[in-house]
Structure 1
Amino acid sequence: ILADHKPTKTDDIDKEITQLEKQKERIKKAYMRGIVEMEDFSEDYRLIEEKLEILEQKKSELLNLDNITFTPQQLMADRDIERETMIRLDSLNNIIKTNWESKTKDEKQEFISKFIESVILTKDKNNELHIEKINFRKSYINNVMKFLDKGILDVLVPVEINGKEEFIIGSPNISNEQVQEYLDRLNEFYETKMYQLYEKIDEDTDNIIGEFTPKKDEKIIRIVPISPTEIKTKSIINKEDIETKYGIVTYNPNKPNKKGND
């Protein structure tokens, strides 16, 4: 099987992953019907999970970010432009909802199983279920760490705007050169600016404080922690690096450049 040798096509990997997922569903149903014992079920389930882990890892290697012809920061810019376009057209939530609702029950389960290995649920005295713990797949965690290492992992950063808490997309620490690549790509679509906020830590709360007021028609895209040079240890908020600066990236949706008009 493909788990035992290096594959050459992701299509082949996808086919075997699908077969293993179906096999996993069959043994789950057999256990729920009392056809197999708990011990046998656990062992079979474990073996399938191990094979899936190997296949997901090999698929990830074939889709390695190092093989792409554009930089991670260009990818981040394209992703931001696509998201902002859908937000302006008020279509983001509808697109996500439509895509999800168009999936069958099996397709939804398959999608979720790509990221989550297991979930522990508890029931309270009112018979309501609560999520106690989520165990994510190792392959998913590995991919998240790759995005973190490349400086393109998105996180939501809480900020206060006009006295109200909101969330802005933030990035891990990246270098000045990487920021410039990101801005150059954005500027192909819209008039883009970046304002730098220097780190200030509240001695009482240990929170990082910065103030920024966007100009008229400016919309904030993301917060970017910037280091003078690319650092090995990525962190969304790196309090140990006193040279880290924080950039606020904005764009004017009313001033599209050439590609923004396409």
Structure 2
Amino acid sequence: MPNSTISDSPVPGLYIVATPIGNLGDIGARAAATLARADLIAAEDTRVTAKLLSHLGLRISMTPYHDHSDERTRAALVARMAEEVVVLVSDAGTPLISDPGYKLVRDARAAGRHVTTIPGPCAAIAAITLSGLPSDRFLFAGFLPNKAKARADTIAEFAGLRASLVFYESGPRLAASLAALADGLGDREAAVAREITKLYEQCVTGPLTTLAARYADAPPKGEIVIVVAPPGEALPEAADDTTLDAALRDAMTDKPVAQAAKAVAKRFGLDRHDVYARALALKDAG
């Protein structure tokens, strides 16, 4: 059965709807339209979702659906999907990403219900874009365990992966988690992103040990995402014009202009075309 569009009357079934991770203005048009047409919203916390519905001017019936929801709750929701539009939302972002919901999707599919997703905000993806760390390959690992040994064992599983690692974290646990990551992975470059899309959005980068020390006595508030670079990766060096020109002249002693510009651009995290133009200017100037 084809997915519904905004202008269609949605068919009965389960709609997995991503909601804003902070700024309510980030709600998508399809997401808002789907919420407006819902017969029932299964919400992680109905009080949180009520604020979004109020922002949209909507009054839709809601029911709690969270980690502690049992099989009978899921069965009741799946039964309603036969005739009604049931929307699944989490407190913020994309449902099922470190949130409850996969069992409901699984049971809905097993019952032959229509299941579709309305994609949108996700804190893990947003943090990667803010971090400036490699994003071509990454692993989302959710929350680390609370207990020290379980946390260390989990981190050890990721140590050899040549990919950026993404974790969710809370303020009170942040410094301990950063220190544990440094112990298990080495002092890799990392980023701590918090309050993403909100007024006080912040992304602090640096070695894991430096970040752990920064937050040891000042745990931050808000929802937090940690991004850790792959093994052997470092943040680009900072470069003023003099440093950049010196690096280009040095690189051009044994490389063609294009290759030199590419290497220097990667080293300093700069646009390759801009660096190439500067390299040509240096070459022409002698």
**Common fold: TM-score over 0.5:** no
Higher strand share: 1
TM class by shorter-chain length? under 0.3
